[in-house]
């Protein structure tokens, strides 16, 4: 199944959900973990500010975004970069008193393509990123949500860009059914 087919099936079973107004409730703002991709960041971030209804966010950006946080990430340098992310997430939470972390990935992502990761593999790394954050000592007070931005035309038209909330349970089931069981 190609990437579009994978995205379609994830939407059909409710693993990717449309974000309705005020789905991200955090008056204090969020710690935003995402990919640096400058062709997509503006759309991703603008939409994020819109659904949060606040502008106080703390963006932490590296190539590949939340995929780097999985302990099993095959992306080059992910071991080191994941640790960097963790340190900055914890620091941001302490310094700015923000307890909501949003983990973003996007498709198509150049980092995923370079590492030959299909959409389901990207989703697997995203879910594992959340699990890793939840398992950190002192992270128990953090509220962590996962999102995925999709550019359906791969071009400049903002009409074909969408951001989805990733339902962890439904996504975990879908991944398992397709031989991509989430790893701990």
Residues lying near Zn ion in the complex (CB under 5 A): 35, 37, 109
Least spacing, CB of residue 44 vs Zn ion, in Å: 10
Least spacing, CB of residue 62 vs Zn ion, in Å: 10
In whole angstroms, what is the distance from residue 87 CA to residue 82 CA? 9
Looking at the Cβ atoms of 144 and 148, the one nearer to Zn ion is 148
Between the alpha carbon of residue 10 and those of residues 38, 84, 170, 182, the distances in Å are 26, 30, 9, 15
Looking at the Cβ atoms of 111 and 133, the one nearer to Zn ion is 111
Would you list the DSSP string of 149-176? EEESSSSS-GGGEEEEEE-HHHHHHHHH
Least spacing, CB of residue 110 vs Zn ion, in Å: 5
Least spacing, CB of residue 37 vs Zn ion, in Å: 4
Looking at the Cβ atoms of 49 and 110, the one nearer to Zn ion is 110
**Six-digit token pair at 30?**
């969020």
In whole angstroms, what is the distance from residue 38 CA to residue 33 CA? 14
- Give residue 142's Cα distance to chain centre: 15
In whole angstroms, what is the distance from residue 95 CA to residue 30 CA? 13
Looking at the Cβ atoms of 26 and 34, the one nearer to Zn ion is 34
């Amino acid at each position: 199944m190609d990437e579009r087919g994978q995205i379609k099936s994830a939407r059909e079973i409710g693993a990717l959900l449309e974000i309705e107004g005020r789905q991200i409730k955090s008056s204090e703002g969020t710690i935003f973990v995402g990919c640096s991709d400058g062709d997509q960041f503006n759309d991703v971030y603008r939409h994020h500010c819109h659904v949060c209804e606040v502008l106080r966010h703390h963006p932490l950006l590296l190539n590949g975004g939340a995929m780097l946080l999985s302990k099993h990430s095959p992306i080059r340098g992910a071991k080191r970069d994941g640790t960097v992310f963790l340190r900055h997430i914890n620091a941001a939470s302490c310094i700015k008193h923000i307890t909501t972390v949003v983990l973003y990935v996007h498709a198509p992502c150049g980092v995923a393509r370079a590492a030959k990761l299909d959409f389901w593999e990207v989703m697997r790394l995203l879910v594992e990123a959340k699990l890793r954050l939840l398992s950190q000592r002192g992270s128990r007070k953090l509220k962590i949500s996962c999102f995925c931005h999709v550019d359906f035309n791969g071009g400049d038209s903002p009409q074909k860009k969408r951001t989805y909330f990733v339902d962890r349970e439904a996504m975990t089931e879908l991944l398992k059914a397709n031989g991509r069981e989430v790893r701990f």
